[in-house]
Structure 1
Amino acid sequence: MIKNLALRLLGSLVLLIVVPTVTFFVQAVVPTNIGRSVLGINASETAVNAYNRQLGLDKPLIGRYVDWLAGAVHGDFGVSYNNSEPVQAVLAPRLGVSLSLIVGALLVFTVVGLLLGILSATGNKIVGTVVDAVSTIGVAVPNFWLAVLLVAVLAVQLNVLPATGYVDPSFSPTLWLASLVLPVIALAFSGITAVAKQTRDQMLIAIESPYTRTLRANGASEFSLVYKHALRNAAGPVVTVLGIIFVGALSGSVIVENIFVLPGLGSQALQSTLQKDLPVIQGIAVYFTIVVVIVNVLIDVATAILNPKVRAA
Structure 2
Amino acid sequence: MLAFLLKRVGAAAVLIALVSFISFALTWITPGDPARAILGVSASEEQVAQKRIELGLDQDVLPAFWSWVTKAVTGDLGASWFTNQAVAGSIADRLPVTLSITIAAVLVAGVLGISLGLWAASRRGVVDSLIQPFAVLGFAIPNFIVAIVLLTVLALNLRLLPATGWVDFDDDPAAWGRSMVLPVIALAVAATAAVAQQTRNAAIETLQLDYVRTLRGRGLGAGSIYLKHVLRNSAPVALTVLSLQFIGLLSGAVVIEYMFALPGIGALTVGAATRGDQPVIQGAVITVVIAVVVVNLLMDLAYAWLNPKVRS
- TM-score normalised according to structure 2 size: 0.96
1:233, 1:61 → 2: CA distance?
48
| TM-superposed deviation, 1:45 | 2.8
**Structure 2 partner of 1:296:** 296
Question: What is the correspondence of 1:110-189 to structure 2 with a 5 Å cutoff?
Answer: 110-189=110-189
- Of 43-52 and 293-302, more deviation after overlay is shown by 43-52
Alignment partner of 1:203 is 2:184 = no
Q: Which residues of structure 2 form unaligned runs of 5+?
A: none
| TM-superposed deviation, 1:32 | 0.9
**Structure 2 partner of 1:270:** 270
Q: What residue identity is the alignment partner of 1:174?
A: A
| TM-superposed deviation, 1:44 | 3.1
Cα deviation, 1:184-224, whole Å, max 9, x if unaligned, reads 11111110001111111111111121111111111211221
Give the conservation status (yes or no) of the 8 Å contact 1:38–1:82.
Answer: yes
2:113, 2:70 → 1: CA distance?
43
1:134, 1:187 → 2: CA distance?
15
Question: What is the correspondence of 1:50-65 to structure 2 with a 5 Å cutoff?
Answer: 50-65=50-65
**Structure 2 partner of 1:75:** 75
| TM-superposed deviation, 1:116 | 0.9
| TM-superposed deviation, 1:46 | 3.1
The number of equivalent residue pairs is 312
**Structure 2 partner of 1:37:** 37
Partner SS for 1:31: coil
Q: CA RMSD in A?
A: 1.3
2:118, 2:99 → 1: CA distance?
28
| TM-superposed deviation, 1:110 | 0.6
Give the conservation status (yes or no) of the 8 Å contact 1:303–1:310.
Answer: yes
Q: What residue identity is the alignment partner of 1:105?
A: A
Question: What is the correspondence of 1:207-286 to structure 2 with a 5 Å cutoff?
Answer: 207-286=207-286
Give the conservation status (yes or no) of the 8 Å contact 1:207–1:225.
Answer: no
2:71, 2:202 → 1: CA distance?
47
- TM-score normalised according to structure 1 size: 0.96
| TM-superposed deviation, 1:43 | 2.9
Cα deviation, 1:242-275, whole Å, max 9, x if unaligned, reads 1111111111111111111111111111111001
Q: What residue identity is the alignment partner of 1:123?
A: R
Give the conservation status (yes or no) of the 8 Å contact 1:36–1:48.
Answer: yes
Give the conservation status (yes or no) of the 8 Å contact 1:239–1:299.
Answer: yes
Partner SS for 1:41: coil
Percent of aligned pairs with the same amino acid: 40
Cα deviation, 1:129-150, whole Å, max 9, x if unaligned, reads 1111011101111111211221
Q: What residue identity is the alignment partner of 2:247?
A: V
